[in-house]
Amino acid sequence: MHIKSLRLFFGLPLPHRQAAAIDVWRNGLALDGRLVARHNLHLTLAFLGSQPVERLGELQRLAGQVRGQGFELRLDRLEVSRHGLVSLGTSQPPEALLQLAGELNDTLRAAGYSLEERAFWPHLTLARQCRKHPAPGSPPDFAWTAERFVLFHSTSDEQGTVYHPLFHWPLAMPHL
Ligand code: ATP
Ligand code: MG
Protein backbone atom coordinates (compact mmCIF):
# COMPACT_ATOMS: atom_id res chain seq x y z
CA MET A 1 0.00 0.00 0.00
CA HIS A 2 1.27 3.44 -0.88
CA ILE A 3 1.43 5.75 2.12
CA LYS A 4 1.54 9.41 1.20
CA SER A 5 4.38 11.21 2.91
CA LEU A 6 5.37 14.84 3.05
CA ARG A 7 8.75 16.50 3.52
CA LEU A 8 8.19 18.77 6.52
CA PHE A 9 10.03 21.30 8.63
CA PHE A 10 9.25 24.02 11.14
CA GLY A 11 10.72 27.40 10.40
CA LEU A 12 10.50 31.15 10.59
CA PRO A 13 9.26 32.83 7.44
CA LEU A 14 10.80 36.07 6.29
CA PRO A 15 8.72 39.20 5.65
CA HIS A 16 8.70 40.07 1.93
CA ARG A 17 10.46 43.39 2.50
CA GLN A 18 13.42 41.76 4.23
CA ALA A 19 13.56 38.94 1.69
CA ALA A 20 13.71 41.51 -1.12
CA ALA A 21 16.40 43.53 0.66
CA ILE A 22 18.48 40.43 1.37
CA ASP A 23 18.13 39.35 -2.24
CA VAL A 24 19.40 42.71 -3.51
CA TRP A 25 22.30 42.68 -1.06
CA ARG A 26 23.08 39.07 -1.99
CA ASN A 27 23.52 40.09 -5.65
CA GLY A 28 26.53 42.12 -4.55
CA LEU A 29 28.24 38.97 -3.26
CA ALA A 30 28.48 37.58 -6.82
CA LEU A 31 27.96 34.04 -5.48
CA ASP A 32 28.78 31.25 -7.90
CA GLY A 33 26.68 28.54 -6.23
CA ARG A 34 23.00 27.58 -6.26
CA LEU A 35 21.03 30.52 -4.85
CA VAL A 36 18.06 29.89 -2.57
CA ALA A 37 15.08 31.49 -4.32
CA ARG A 38 14.09 34.79 -2.78
CA HIS A 39 10.61 33.55 -1.82
CA ASN A 40 12.24 30.55 -0.08
CA LEU A 41 14.48 32.49 2.29
CA HIS A 42 13.71 31.22 5.80
CA LEU A 43 15.23 30.06 9.05
CA THR A 44 14.79 26.39 9.94
CA LEU A 45 13.79 25.59 13.53
CA ALA A 46 13.31 21.83 13.30
CA PHE A 47 13.65 19.54 10.31
CA LEU A 48 11.30 16.55 10.24
CA GLY A 49 12.03 15.11 6.83
CA SER A 50 9.58 12.72 5.21
CA GLN A 51 6.50 12.08 7.37
CA PRO A 52 3.25 10.23 6.69
CA VAL A 53 0.45 12.68 6.01
CA GLU A 54 -1.45 11.10 8.91
CA ARG A 55 1.02 12.73 11.33
CA LEU A 56 -0.13 16.25 10.49
CA GLY A 57 -2.77 16.27 13.20
CA GLU A 58 -0.29 15.19 15.85
CA LEU A 59 2.28 17.72 14.66
CA GLN A 60 -0.31 20.48 14.92
CA ARG A 61 -1.14 19.44 18.45
CA LEU A 62 2.54 19.23 19.49
CA ALA A 63 3.44 22.60 17.99
CA GLY A 64 0.44 24.10 19.74
CA GLN A 65 1.96 23.07 23.08
CA VAL A 66 5.02 25.21 22.43
CA ARG A 67 4.65 28.63 24.04
CA GLY A 68 7.11 30.85 22.22
CA GLN A 69 7.87 34.53 22.73
CA GLY A 70 8.30 36.92 19.84
CA PHE A 71 11.72 38.44 19.28
CA GLU A 72 13.70 40.71 17.08
CA LEU A 73 16.09 38.80 14.85
CA ARG A 74 19.14 40.64 13.62
CA LEU A 75 21.17 39.02 10.86
CA ASP A 76 24.51 40.74 10.91
CA ARG A 77 26.96 38.04 9.92
CA LEU A 78 27.92 36.46 6.64
CA GLU A 79 28.92 32.85 7.22
CA VAL A 80 30.73 30.60 4.80
CA SER A 81 30.98 26.90 5.60
CA ARG A 82 33.54 24.44 4.38
CA HIS A 83 30.97 22.78 2.18
CA GLY A 84 30.22 25.87 0.12
CA LEU A 85 27.15 26.87 2.11
CA VAL A 86 26.83 30.64 2.37
CA SER A 87 24.40 31.91 4.97
CA LEU A 88 23.38 34.82 7.13
CA GLY A 89 23.82 34.37 10.84
CA THR A 90 23.51 36.42 13.97
CA SER A 91 26.18 37.56 16.39
CA GLN A 92 23.61 37.57 19.20
CA PRO A 93 20.98 34.83 18.94
CA PRO A 94 17.94 36.05 20.90
CA GLU A 95 17.18 33.96 23.97
CA ALA A 96 13.58 33.58 22.76
CA LEU A 97 14.78 32.06 19.47
CA LEU A 98 16.98 29.51 21.24
CA GLN A 99 14.11 28.68 23.60
CA LEU A 100 11.64 28.28 20.75
CA ALA A 101 13.92 25.96 18.78
CA GLY A 102 14.85 24.06 21.94
CA GLU A 103 11.26 23.59 23.07
CA LEU A 104 10.07 22.59 19.62
CA ASN A 105 12.85 20.03 19.18
CA ASP A 106 12.38 18.65 22.71
CA THR A 107 8.62 18.34 22.26
CA LEU A 108 9.01 16.53 18.94
CA ARG A 109 11.71 14.20 20.27
CA ALA A 110 9.62 13.36 23.32
CA ALA A 111 6.84 12.33 20.91
CA GLY A 112 9.23 9.97 19.10
CA TYR A 113 10.44 12.04 16.15
CA SER A 114 14.12 11.60 15.39
CA LEU A 115 15.65 14.97 14.65
CA GLU A 116 19.02 16.43 13.88
CA GLU A 117 21.37 15.70 16.81
CA ARG A 118 23.65 18.65 16.20
CA ALA A 119 23.22 21.79 18.25
CA PHE A 120 20.76 24.30 16.82
CA TRP A 121 22.52 26.68 14.44
CA PRO A 122 20.34 29.68 13.60
CA HIS A 123 21.07 30.58 10.00
CA LEU A 124 19.41 31.70 6.81
CA THR A 125 20.86 29.88 3.82
CA LEU A 126 21.65 32.19 0.89
CA ALA A 127 23.34 29.74 -1.48
CA ARG A 128 24.76 26.24 -1.65
CA GLN A 129 27.68 24.69 -3.50
CA CYS A 130 29.65 27.91 -3.73
CA ARG A 131 33.30 27.51 -4.68
CA LYS A 132 34.41 31.09 -4.75
CA HIS A 133 34.47 33.19 -1.63
CA PRO A 134 31.77 35.92 -1.60
CA ALA A 135 32.91 39.25 -3.02
CA PRO A 136 33.75 41.72 -0.26
CA GLY A 137 31.04 44.30 0.25
CA SER A 138 28.89 46.04 2.82
CA PRO A 139 28.45 43.93 5.96
CA PRO A 140 24.93 42.57 6.38
CA ASP A 141 22.54 44.22 8.81
CA PHE A 142 19.01 42.91 8.44
CA ALA A 143 16.42 42.74 11.18
CA TRP A 144 12.76 41.94 11.68
CA THR A 145 10.40 40.87 14.41
CA ALA A 146 9.52 37.18 14.42
CA GLU A 147 5.81 36.98 15.31
CA ARG A 148 4.99 33.41 14.36
CA PHE A 149 6.46 30.10 13.36
CA VAL A 150 5.26 27.87 10.55
CA LEU A 151 5.07 24.21 9.56
CA PHE A 152 6.26 24.03 5.95
CA HIS A 153 5.75 21.33 3.36
CA SER A 154 8.74 21.26 1.00
CA THR A 155 8.23 20.07 -2.57
CA SER A 156 10.74 19.86 -5.41
CA ASP A 157 10.40 19.36 -9.13
CA GLU A 158 12.10 20.60 -12.29
CA GLN A 159 10.71 24.06 -11.54
CA GLY A 160 12.58 24.12 -8.24
CA THR A 161 11.85 23.82 -4.55
CA VAL A 162 8.77 25.38 -2.99
CA TYR A 163 7.89 25.58 0.69
CA HIS A 164 4.16 25.54 1.30
CA PRO A 165 3.10 26.97 4.66
CA LEU A 166 0.61 24.53 6.19
CA PHE A 167 -0.06 25.91 9.68
CA HIS A 168 1.28 28.74 11.75
CA TRP A 169 1.44 29.58 15.45
CA PRO A 170 1.74 33.04 16.94
CA LEU A 171 4.60 33.99 19.23
CA ALA A 172 3.63 36.05 22.27
CA MET A 173 4.37 39.75 21.80
CA PRO A 174 4.67 41.17 25.32
CA HIS A 175 5.57 44.68 24.16
CA LEU A 176 2.47 45.21 22.02
P1 ATP B 1 16.72 21.53 -2.00
O2 ATP B 1 17.04 20.39 -1.12
O3 ATP B 1 15.66 21.26 -3.01
O4 ATP B 1 17.91 22.17 -2.59
P5 ATP B 1 16.12 22.87 0.43
O6 ATP B 1 17.33 22.21 1.03
O7 ATP B 1 15.93 24.32 0.71
O8 ATP B 1 16.08 22.70 -1.13
P9 ATP B 1 14.71 20.92 1.88
O10 ATP B 1 15.79 19.93 1.59
O11 ATP B 1 13.30 20.46 1.83
O12 ATP B 1 14.80 22.14 0.90
O13 ATP B 1 15.02 21.52 3.30
C14 ATP B 1 14.15 22.41 3.97
C15 ATP B 1 14.90 23.07 5.09
O16 ATP B 1 15.37 22.09 6.01
C17 ATP B 1 16.18 23.81 4.64
O18 ATP B 1 16.38 24.91 5.52
C19 ATP B 1 17.27 22.80 4.85
O20 ATP B 1 18.51 23.43 5.08
C21 ATP B 1 16.79 22.07 6.08
N22 ATP B 1 17.26 20.68 6.08
C23 ATP B 1 17.22 19.82 5.04
N24 ATP B 1 17.71 18.62 5.37
C25 ATP B 1 18.08 18.72 6.68
C26 ATP B 1 18.64 17.82 7.61
N27 ATP B 1 18.94 16.57 7.30
N28 ATP B 1 18.87 18.27 8.85
C29 ATP B 1 18.57 19.52 9.20
N30 ATP B 1 18.02 20.42 8.38
C31 ATP B 1 17.79 20.04 7.13
MG1 MG C 1 17.87 20.16 0.90
Instruction: Give the chain's domains with CATH numbers.
Output: 7-170 (3.90.1140.10)
Nearest alpha carbon, ligand 1 atom 29: 47
Q: Which amino acid is at 115?
A: L
Q: For position 150, what pLDDT does the model report?
A: 98
Band (136; pLDDT cuts 50, 70, 90): confident
Number of H helices and E strands in the chain, helices first, is: 3, 10
Distance of alpha carbon 121 from alpha carbon 45, whole angstroms: 9
Band (29; pLDDT cuts 50, 70, 90): very high
Please, is 84 exposed, middle or buried when counting C-beta atoms within 10 Å of its C-beta (0-12, 13-18, 19+)?
middle
Nearest ligand to the CA of 126 is 1
Whether 27 is in the pocket of ligand 1, judged by its Cβ within 6 Å, is: no
| 114: phi then psi, degrees, rounded to nearest 5 | -95, 120
Band (1; pLDDT cuts 50, 70, 90): low
Nearest alpha carbon, ligand 1 atom 22: 47
